[in-house]
Structure 1
Amino acid sequence: MTLPARFVWTLFVDGAWRNGEPGLFMLDTTNRDHSFDVTVHPDHSIDATNPCGEQGLEPFEACTLGHVNLSLMARDDTTPWFDFQTDGNDDLEILVTEFLDQAIEWNHLTTVVRDGTRFLDNVISASAFPIPEIESKVAALRKIGLGIMGFAELLVQLGVRYGTPASYEIARQLMAHITQESKQMSHELAAERGTFPQWANSKYATPTAYPEWFSRHTGRKATNWANGFPLRNHSTATIAPTETTSMIANTSGGCEPLFNVVYFKNVGRDVQGREMLVEFDDYFLRTLQANGIDPKTIGEEARTLLRALPFQSFLESHPESRMMSQWLIVRQ
């Protein structure tokens, strides 16, 4: 059976909006960006993902994931983006670089990325796997995925609207730093503990054959590493949704926007009991408090109303909450 592509795409989008399924994964793009040249080594082709879809996997491969909380990386005394003095420079990349230099605790971020990379490598060594095929594949590749959470809340702290060109450039610079620092740490771990066993077959063994790819992943020139760039882990970075993890950390999920400042969380009945959990965005509560509104009172009232009314009805009956939720997205 064949169907019009536009119709299928519409079904995908509608289903994803309604319940998060189905996902769409670009398998050919993923394989082109793989640490292995799959045209030379087809046995390393990626043909699936983990359940959340962020990590492409070879057959029998497993992923070990961790997340940097970006909402903890902003300086307390930072000048927000909307007040940042540009000195007449209209090059967005340069402007964002200058802005982040005074807004982000770069040394702290670097330390967390390096420690996180080492920690995830330790997790692989300490883990037990259910079948020999998985244990063998994980040992041969040692894939890890250090990602992020709290990106949307970081933008709130910085005074940047999510989805603007400035937010895209901030995301690019932050993730480039995380990717390249995690690669540097994996490089040092290779000197300390040895490379992953399949390193000789990877693109990192012959950087000059893949110069653009190598530069993007490591921040280095391939010609300076003609004899290979040793790594402990064939992949080091990925971005997971982190929804439950970010709730525990009291921040926003992954790289996604703040969909609502108050919402339901539906988990197992043995955890939540008969009623769905009501979650509040931390910066929403801080904003209420900063404007003389008691967050505990609003919280208890919201829990009561949300369990009885749709969220839209709650906002209509409490215009101050709608105002605060819109204002929060713009500035702290």
Structure 2
Amino acid sequence: MAIFGDSTEGEDGKHVCPASAAYDIEAAEPFIGSLSFNHFNMILSGACVGVVCLIISILMFRHATHLSKPKEQIKIMKICLLLPLYSITSFLAICFPTAAVSITPWMEVYQGLALGSFFLLLCEFIARENEEGVGGFFETFDPPKKRGKPGISGVEWFGKQYLAIWQYPIVALGVAIATDITEALDVYCLESNNVHFAHIWLTVIAIVSVAFAVISILIFYKGLKSHLQAHKPLSKLLAFKLIVGLAFIEKIIFTILHSTSTLHPTASLSQADTDIGIPHLVICIQMVPFALFFPYAYSVTPYIGPAPYESSNKAWIGLVNPMEILRAMVHTRIIGL
């Protein structure tokens, strides 16, 4: 199967997806004992999801009940929410493989929104240390200069990183909607990377978009590293960067494995297992160590103090309030800039 091949032509000359969306969920032979791989996968991935949700729920509850800096902690809670959302969506894809094509693209939307919240969290750290806020800081900020290129102002540098980061959730939302539409029209075809289907194009768009966003958040962090040192941003960046980075690499790896028929059905592995089950099992498993690392990276300890805390209701309402995210997505300036 060539990377851009694998399709058949119908009697009317139209390209037809080489495999049916109605997967054979159960393989012909059991995987372990009397368990099929699908049942084994649901048990293992379900256990991982439970662990992730428990750990992250405790972390979010502690932030909500020690709400001393709501602007920062609500953003931290939004970032933490990525792990259970990622895990639950992957688990649903494993349980309902025929619906996976429609639900899994929304994982990119979660990821994009969490990346945006991480960016806004770094901005809050900057604002905390400067009386004039983010706008005043970047008016006097001298950004890193590229060799052989003229320097730019701090405001312009910030604007470039801002746009490169926030294009990702917007593009991810568009890709998710386009995936659902093209799947409904039978022109998506997960099993093929042929250029006649939408799958390869939407995959490339998503990969390019996330690459731009990740590179920009790294540039932003590196340029402000000395200003953010007091907030221990490296562990926060590492926790988030590894999630995004692994998802990015795994998407490429599984695309290649499927395109070259390296990962294919066997007597104990069905088409649903190879296309959906295994990639999402990997995600469920890897979310567990990330969940264990998050209480350290996004510790509540710096926010615990003698001062009275704000109501935890404010944290939970802020967590589900989309207005801050919507403002960030539709404006090119934030926090007084």
For Structure 1 versus Structure 2, the TM-score category normalised by the shorter chain is under 0.3
**TM-score normalised per structure 1:** 0.22
**TM-score normalised per structure 2:** 0.22
- Larger proportion of helix: 2
